[in-house]
Amino acid sequence: MKKIKVTQIKSTIDRPERQKRTMVALGLKKMNASVEVEATPQILGMVNKVNHLVKVEQL
């Protein structure tokens, strides 16, 4: 399965609780933090919901 690199580029301050929890579920807790994850439909759905807060790169 393909892997993607997700990097947090914006803060979660003043964001809805649901978006904050999605970021934590992806493994992102700090600004400019990156995590490599499998590109499953569940992960891609979470990334799509917070796409304004993250940058995605294919590996």
Q: How far is CA 40 from CA 3, 10, 12, 25, in A?
A: 9, 23, 24, 14
- Residue-level pLDDT at 1: 79
CB 55 within 8 A of CB 7: yes
pLDDT digits (tens, 9 = 90+) for 24-33: 999 999 999 9
The pLDDT confidence band at residue 17, using thresholds 50, 70 and 90, is very high
- Predicted TM-score (pTM) of this structure: 0.91
Q: What is the mean pLDDT of the chain?
A: 96
pLDDT digits (tens, 9 = 90+) for 37-52: 999 999 999 999 999 9
* Tokens encoding 6: 């997700």
Q: Is the dihedral of CA 12, 14, 17, 18 positive or negative?
A: negative
**Domains, the chain, with CATH or none:** 3-58 (3.30.1390.20)
